[in-house]
Amino acid sequence: MTTTNTTSEQASPMTATSDSGLRSAGMRDLGPEAMARFRRVERAFLETTAARDYLEIRTPTIEPLHLYTSAGTLSPQALDRVYSFLDWDGWSGERVVLRPDATVAVARWYAEQGSADVRRVAYVQPVYRFAAEGEREVWQCGVELFGAPAATADGELLLLARDFLGALGLGSVTCELAHAGIVRAVLAAAGLSPVQQVEAHDRMLDGDAGVVADLTAALPQAAAALRLLSSVDGGSAGYVGNLRAALLPSVPTAATALDELEAAARVLDTAGVPYRLLVGTSRSFEYYSGVAFRMSAGGRECISGGRYDGLAETVGGVAAPGSGWGADLVRLAEIIGVRS
Protein backbone atom coordinates (compact mmCIF):
# COMPACT_ATOMS: atom_id res chain seq x y z
CA MET A 1 0.00 0.00 0.00
CA THR A 2 1.47 3.31 -0.92
CA THR A 3 0.40 6.60 0.43
CA THR A 4 1.38 10.11 -0.31
CA ASN A 5 0.23 13.13 1.56
CA THR A 6 -0.11 16.69 0.53
CA THR A 7 0.51 19.47 2.95
CA SER A 8 0.27 23.20 2.80
CA GLU A 9 4.03 23.12 2.34
CA GLN A 10 3.46 21.95 -1.21
CA ALA A 11 1.23 24.80 -2.13
CA SER A 12 3.98 25.47 -4.33
CA PRO A 13 5.52 27.43 -7.09
CA MET A 14 3.44 25.33 -9.48
CA THR A 15 0.12 25.90 -7.77
CA ALA A 16 -1.54 28.98 -9.10
CA THR A 17 -4.45 30.11 -7.02
CA SER A 18 -7.26 31.00 -9.30
CA ASP A 19 -9.57 33.75 -8.18
CA SER A 20 -11.76 33.42 -11.24
CA GLY A 21 -13.65 30.44 -9.87
CA LEU A 22 -13.38 28.72 -13.23
CA ARG A 23 -11.13 25.95 -11.96
CA SER A 24 -12.44 23.39 -9.49
CA ALA A 25 -11.18 23.61 -5.93
CA GLY A 26 -8.24 21.34 -5.25
CA MET A 27 -7.37 21.04 -8.95
CA ARG A 28 -4.42 22.67 -10.62
CA ASP A 29 -2.97 23.33 -14.03
CA LEU A 30 0.57 22.39 -14.93
CA GLY A 31 1.98 24.96 -17.30
CA PRO A 32 4.83 24.27 -19.77
CA GLU A 33 7.62 24.67 -17.22
CA ALA A 34 5.86 22.59 -14.62
CA MET A 35 5.16 19.91 -17.22
CA ALA A 36 8.82 19.86 -18.24
CA ARG A 37 9.76 19.14 -14.62
CA PHE A 38 6.93 16.62 -14.38
CA ARG A 39 8.24 14.75 -17.43
CA ARG A 40 11.76 14.82 -16.04
CA VAL A 41 10.62 13.07 -12.87
CA GLU A 42 8.46 10.66 -14.84
CA ARG A 43 11.37 9.78 -17.13
CA ALA A 44 13.71 9.20 -14.20
CA PHE A 45 11.08 7.04 -12.55
CA LEU A 46 10.32 4.92 -15.61
CA GLU A 47 13.99 4.48 -16.52
CA THR A 48 14.98 3.52 -12.96
CA THR A 49 12.16 1.06 -12.54
CA ALA A 50 12.49 -0.43 -16.02
CA ALA A 51 16.15 -1.13 -15.32
CA ARG A 52 14.93 -3.37 -12.47
CA ASP A 53 12.36 -5.14 -14.69
CA TYR A 54 9.31 -3.21 -13.50
CA LEU A 55 6.85 -3.01 -16.40
CA GLU A 56 4.58 -0.02 -16.70
CA ILE A 57 0.82 -0.50 -16.40
CA ARG A 58 -2.14 1.84 -16.10
CA THR A 59 -5.48 1.19 -14.42
CA PRO A 60 -8.82 2.89 -15.10
CA THR A 61 -9.74 6.21 -13.52
CA ILE A 62 -13.12 4.82 -12.50
CA GLU A 63 -13.32 1.72 -10.33
CA PRO A 64 -16.24 0.12 -8.44
CA LEU A 65 -16.58 1.48 -4.93
CA HIS A 66 -16.83 -2.01 -3.46
CA LEU A 67 -13.22 -2.63 -4.45
CA TYR A 68 -12.32 -0.27 -1.63
CA THR A 69 -14.89 -1.11 1.03
CA SER A 70 -13.55 -4.43 2.34
CA ALA A 71 -11.60 -4.34 5.58
CA GLY A 72 -7.92 -4.20 4.72
CA THR A 73 -8.30 -1.85 1.77
CA LEU A 74 -9.29 1.71 2.70
CA SER A 75 -10.24 2.82 6.19
CA PRO A 76 -13.75 4.27 6.75
CA GLN A 77 -12.15 7.67 7.26
CA ALA A 78 -10.43 7.43 3.87
CA LEU A 79 -13.67 6.23 2.30
CA ASP A 80 -15.35 9.37 3.56
CA ARG A 81 -13.09 11.36 1.23
CA VAL A 82 -13.47 9.41 -2.00
CA TYR A 83 -15.26 10.81 -5.02
CA SER A 84 -18.04 8.28 -5.44
CA PHE A 85 -21.13 8.53 -7.55
CA LEU A 86 -23.70 6.50 -9.45
CA ASP A 87 -22.69 5.92 -13.05
CA TRP A 88 -25.18 6.38 -15.87
CA ASP A 89 -26.06 2.70 -15.52
CA GLY A 90 -25.91 2.70 -11.73
CA TRP A 91 -29.59 1.93 -11.10
CA SER A 92 -28.51 -1.21 -9.28
CA GLY A 93 -27.05 1.02 -6.57
CA GLU A 94 -23.49 0.04 -7.42
CA ARG A 95 -21.43 3.15 -6.92
CA VAL A 96 -18.17 3.90 -8.66
CA VAL A 97 -15.23 6.01 -7.52
CA LEU A 98 -12.54 8.10 -9.08
CA ARG A 99 -9.48 5.98 -8.22
CA PRO A 100 -8.72 7.02 -4.62
CA ASP A 101 -5.63 4.81 -4.29
CA ALA A 102 -3.39 3.30 -6.92
CA THR A 103 -2.24 0.21 -5.00
CA VAL A 104 -5.69 -1.31 -4.52
CA ALA A 105 -6.42 -0.80 -8.23
CA VAL A 106 -3.11 -2.42 -9.22
CA ALA A 107 -3.80 -5.28 -6.79
CA ARG A 108 -7.16 -5.75 -8.51
CA TRP A 109 -5.34 -5.98 -11.84
CA TYR A 110 -2.93 -8.54 -10.38
CA ALA A 111 -5.81 -10.53 -8.88
CA GLU A 112 -7.40 -10.72 -12.32
CA GLN A 113 -4.26 -12.32 -13.73
CA GLY A 114 -5.30 -15.36 -11.70
CA SER A 115 -1.96 -16.59 -10.45
CA ALA A 116 0.51 -15.96 -7.64
CA ASP A 117 3.41 -15.41 -10.04
CA VAL A 118 6.02 -12.77 -9.33
CA ARG A 119 5.03 -9.56 -11.13
CA ARG A 120 6.89 -6.26 -10.99
CA VAL A 121 4.83 -3.32 -12.17
CA ALA A 122 5.19 0.46 -12.23
CA TYR A 123 2.54 3.10 -12.78
CA VAL A 124 2.15 6.82 -13.25
CA GLN A 125 -1.42 7.94 -12.66
CA PRO A 126 -3.46 10.31 -10.51
CA VAL A 127 -5.50 9.50 -7.42
CA TYR A 128 -8.45 11.56 -6.24
CA ARG A 129 -9.26 12.30 -2.61
CA PHE A 130 -11.17 15.14 -1.10
CA ALA A 131 -9.09 17.58 0.93
CA ALA A 132 -10.59 20.69 2.45
CA GLU A 133 -7.38 22.48 1.65
CA GLY A 134 -4.67 21.36 -0.72
CA GLU A 135 -4.70 19.10 -3.72
CA ARG A 136 -7.55 16.74 -4.54
CA GLU A 137 -5.85 15.27 -7.60
CA VAL A 138 -2.48 13.77 -6.78
CA TRP A 139 -0.28 12.32 -9.51
CA GLN A 140 1.44 9.26 -8.15
CA CYS A 141 4.34 7.31 -9.51
CA GLY A 142 4.79 4.00 -7.81
CA VAL A 143 5.77 0.36 -8.00
CA GLU A 144 4.19 -2.84 -6.75
CA LEU A 145 5.93 -6.17 -6.39
CA PHE A 146 3.57 -9.14 -6.13
CA GLY A 147 4.42 -12.74 -5.39
CA ALA A 148 7.77 -12.04 -3.73
CA PRO A 149 8.23 -12.64 -0.01
CA ALA A 150 9.55 -10.10 2.47
CA ALA A 151 12.99 -11.65 2.58
CA THR A 152 13.76 -10.61 -0.98
CA ALA A 153 11.20 -7.92 -1.80
CA ASP A 154 11.57 -5.50 1.10
CA GLY A 155 15.23 -4.81 0.43
CA GLU A 156 14.68 -4.59 -3.30
CA LEU A 157 11.99 -1.95 -2.89
CA LEU A 158 14.03 0.12 -0.46
CA LEU A 159 17.00 0.18 -2.80
CA LEU A 160 14.79 0.99 -5.78
CA ALA A 161 13.34 3.95 -3.90
CA ARG A 162 16.83 5.17 -3.05
CA ASP A 163 17.95 4.77 -6.66
CA PHE A 164 14.97 6.75 -7.93
CA LEU A 165 15.75 9.65 -5.63
CA GLY A 166 19.39 9.37 -6.70
CA ALA A 167 18.36 9.53 -10.38
CA LEU A 168 16.59 12.80 -9.62
CA GLY A 169 19.78 14.13 -8.14
CA LEU A 170 18.34 14.26 -4.65
CA GLY A 171 20.91 13.61 -1.94
CA SER A 172 20.75 13.38 1.87
CA VAL A 173 18.34 10.46 1.70
CA THR A 174 17.01 9.22 5.04
CA CYS A 175 14.44 6.61 5.92
CA GLU A 176 11.91 5.81 8.63
CA LEU A 177 11.21 2.11 9.06
CA ALA A 178 8.38 0.40 10.88
CA HIS A 179 6.72 -3.01 10.97
CA ALA A 180 2.98 -3.32 11.48
CA GLY A 181 3.29 -6.92 12.63
CA ILE A 182 5.16 -6.11 15.82
CA VAL A 183 2.52 -3.91 17.41
CA ARG A 184 -0.18 -6.20 16.12
CA ALA A 185 1.47 -9.21 17.77
CA VAL A 186 1.74 -7.33 21.08
CA LEU A 187 -1.88 -6.24 20.99
CA ALA A 188 -3.06 -9.74 20.12
CA ALA A 189 -0.93 -11.24 22.90
CA ALA A 190 -2.61 -8.82 25.31
CA GLY A 191 -5.88 -10.51 24.43
CA LEU A 192 -7.42 -7.67 22.38
CA SER A 193 -9.91 -8.41 19.64
CA PRO A 194 -9.14 -7.12 16.11
CA VAL A 195 -11.43 -4.13 16.73
CA GLN A 196 -9.79 -3.38 20.09
CA GLN A 197 -6.37 -3.68 18.47
CA VAL A 198 -7.22 -0.92 16.03
CA GLU A 199 -8.56 1.26 18.83
CA ALA A 200 -5.51 0.66 21.03
CA HIS A 201 -3.14 1.43 18.19
CA ASP A 202 -5.04 4.63 17.40
CA ARG A 203 -4.61 5.65 21.05
CA MET A 204 -0.88 4.90 20.79
CA LEU A 205 -0.58 7.05 17.70
CA ASP A 206 -2.40 9.84 19.47
CA GLY A 207 0.22 9.74 22.21
CA ASP A 208 -2.16 8.37 24.80
CA ALA A 209 0.24 7.09 27.49
CA GLY A 210 -2.64 5.28 29.15
CA VAL A 211 -2.72 2.64 26.45
CA VAL A 212 0.80 1.48 27.38
CA ALA A 213 -0.31 1.26 31.00
CA ASP A 214 -3.36 -0.76 29.95
CA LEU A 215 -1.26 -3.12 27.86
CA THR A 216 1.30 -3.47 30.63
CA ALA A 217 -1.48 -4.47 32.99
CA ALA A 218 -2.71 -7.07 30.52
CA LEU A 219 0.77 -8.30 29.65
CA PRO A 220 3.04 -7.50 32.62
CA GLN A 221 5.86 -9.71 31.42
CA ALA A 222 6.21 -7.47 28.33
CA ALA A 223 6.44 -4.22 30.30
CA ALA A 224 10.02 -3.44 29.26
CA ALA A 225 9.32 -4.21 25.63
CA LEU A 226 6.25 -1.99 25.66
CA ARG A 227 8.27 0.90 27.09
CA LEU A 228 10.92 0.30 24.46
CA LEU A 229 8.26 0.29 21.73
CA SER A 230 6.41 3.36 22.91
CA SER A 231 9.20 5.66 23.99
CA VAL A 232 12.44 4.73 22.20
CA ASP A 233 13.03 5.09 18.46
CA GLY A 234 15.70 2.84 17.03
CA GLY A 235 18.76 4.14 15.23
CA SER A 236 20.39 0.90 14.09
CA ALA A 237 19.77 -2.80 13.64
CA GLY A 238 21.03 -3.14 17.21
CA TYR A 239 17.71 -1.71 18.40
CA VAL A 240 15.92 -4.68 16.88
CA GLY A 241 18.19 -6.95 18.88
CA ASN A 242 17.22 -5.14 22.07
CA LEU A 243 13.57 -5.39 21.15
CA ARG A 244 13.93 -9.10 20.43
CA ALA A 245 15.47 -9.69 23.83
CA ALA A 246 12.72 -7.76 25.61
CA LEU A 247 9.73 -8.91 23.59
CA LEU A 248 10.12 -12.50 22.44
CA PRO A 249 9.90 -14.19 25.84
CA SER A 250 6.35 -12.86 26.27
CA VAL A 251 5.32 -12.33 22.63
CA PRO A 252 7.01 -15.07 20.59
CA THR A 253 4.66 -14.38 17.67
CA ALA A 254 6.60 -11.18 16.98
CA ALA A 255 9.70 -13.15 15.91
CA THR A 256 9.07 -13.10 12.16
CA ALA A 257 8.22 -9.41 12.17
CA LEU A 258 11.41 -8.61 14.07
CA ASP A 259 13.47 -10.65 11.61
CA GLU A 260 11.92 -8.82 8.67
CA LEU A 261 12.50 -5.43 10.25
CA GLU A 262 16.11 -6.28 11.03
CA ALA A 263 16.70 -7.51 7.48
CA ALA A 264 15.33 -4.24 6.06
CA ALA A 265 17.50 -2.24 8.48
CA ARG A 266 20.59 -4.17 7.39
CA VAL A 267 19.86 -3.44 3.73
CA LEU A 268 19.86 0.25 4.55
CA ASP A 269 23.03 -0.18 6.64
CA THR A 270 24.77 -1.73 3.65
CA ALA A 271 23.47 0.97 1.30
CA GLY A 272 24.62 3.70 3.68
CA VAL A 273 21.15 5.18 4.09
CA PRO A 274 20.59 6.61 7.58
CA TYR A 275 17.32 5.51 9.14
CA ARG A 276 15.15 5.55 12.23
CA LEU A 277 13.04 2.65 13.48
CA LEU A 278 9.58 3.83 14.59
CA VAL A 279 8.00 0.53 15.47
CA GLY A 280 5.34 1.77 17.85
CA THR A 281 4.18 4.66 15.73
CA SER A 282 3.76 3.29 12.22
CA ARG A 283 0.74 4.84 10.61
CA SER A 284 -1.96 3.17 8.52
CA PHE A 285 -2.18 0.15 10.79
CA GLU A 286 -5.08 -1.29 8.90
CA TYR A 287 -3.22 -1.48 5.62
CA TYR A 288 0.24 -2.78 6.27
CA SER A 289 1.08 -6.31 7.16
CA GLY A 290 4.86 -5.96 7.28
CA VAL A 291 7.68 -3.47 6.85
CA ALA A 292 6.51 0.06 6.11
CA PHE A 293 8.75 2.99 5.29
CA ARG A 294 8.95 6.66 4.45
CA MET A 295 11.97 7.98 2.57
CA SER A 296 12.98 11.62 2.59
CA ALA A 297 15.52 13.71 0.73
CA GLY A 298 16.85 16.90 2.17
CA GLY A 299 14.37 16.64 5.00
CA ARG A 300 11.29 16.46 2.73
CA GLU A 301 9.28 13.26 2.60
CA CYS A 302 9.32 11.92 -0.95
CA ILE A 303 8.29 8.26 -0.98
CA SER A 304 6.23 6.00 1.24
CA GLY A 305 5.30 2.38 1.02
CA GLY A 306 5.12 -0.96 2.66
CA ARG A 307 4.07 -4.58 2.65
CA TYR A 308 0.42 -5.62 2.30
CA ASP A 309 0.39 -9.39 1.95
CA GLY A 310 -3.37 -9.84 2.29
CA LEU A 311 -4.47 -7.33 -0.32
CA ALA A 312 -4.52 -9.45 -3.48
CA GLU A 313 -6.73 -12.01 -1.76
CA THR A 314 -8.98 -9.30 -0.30
CA VAL A 315 -9.74 -7.93 -3.75
CA GLY A 316 -10.64 -11.36 -5.06
CA GLY A 317 -7.36 -12.91 -6.17
CA VAL A 318 -5.30 -15.84 -4.99
CA ALA A 319 -3.25 -15.36 -1.85
CA ALA A 320 0.07 -13.77 -2.76
CA PRO A 321 2.50 -11.49 -0.96
CA GLY A 322 2.64 -7.90 -2.10
CA SER A 323 4.48 -4.70 -1.37
CA GLY A 324 5.20 -1.39 -3.02
CA TRP A 325 5.79 2.29 -2.72
CA GLY A 326 4.56 5.49 -4.24
CA ALA A 327 5.54 9.11 -4.57
CA ASP A 328 3.72 12.35 -5.25
CA LEU A 329 5.15 13.09 -8.66
CA VAL A 330 4.24 16.77 -8.75
CA ARG A 331 5.74 17.28 -5.33
CA LEU A 332 8.99 15.71 -6.49
CA ALA A 333 8.89 17.96 -9.55
CA GLU A 334 8.58 20.94 -7.23
CA ILE A 335 11.53 19.75 -5.16
CA ILE A 336 13.82 19.34 -8.14
CA GLY A 337 12.47 22.60 -9.57
CA VAL A 338 13.43 24.48 -6.44
CA ARG A 339 16.85 22.86 -6.48
CA SER A 340 17.55 23.58 -10.13
Binding site for other proteins (CB under 8 A): 21, 66, 69-71, 76, 79-80, 86, 88-95, 132, 193-195, 313-316
| Beta carbons of 333 and 300 less than 8 angstroms apart | no
Q: Which is nearer to other proteins, 200 or 315 (CB)?
A: 315
Determine the Cα–Cα distance for residues 7 and 5; give it in Å rounded to an integer: 6
CB of 20 to other proteins, least distance (A): 9
Q: Which is nearer to other proteins, 5 or 75 (CB)?
A: 75
CB of 148 to other proteins, least distance (A): 23
CB of 84 to other proteins, least distance (A): 8
Q: Which is nearer to other proteins, 5 or 69 (CB)?
A: 69
CB of 311 to other proteins, least distance (A): 12
Q: Which is nearer to other proteins, 31 or 194 (CB)?
A: 194
CB of 71 to other proteins, least distance (A): 5
Q: Which is nearer to other proteins, 61 or 69 (CB)?
A: 69
Q: Which is nearer to other proteins, 32 or 88 (CB)?
A: 88
CB of 36 to other proteins, least distance (A): 33
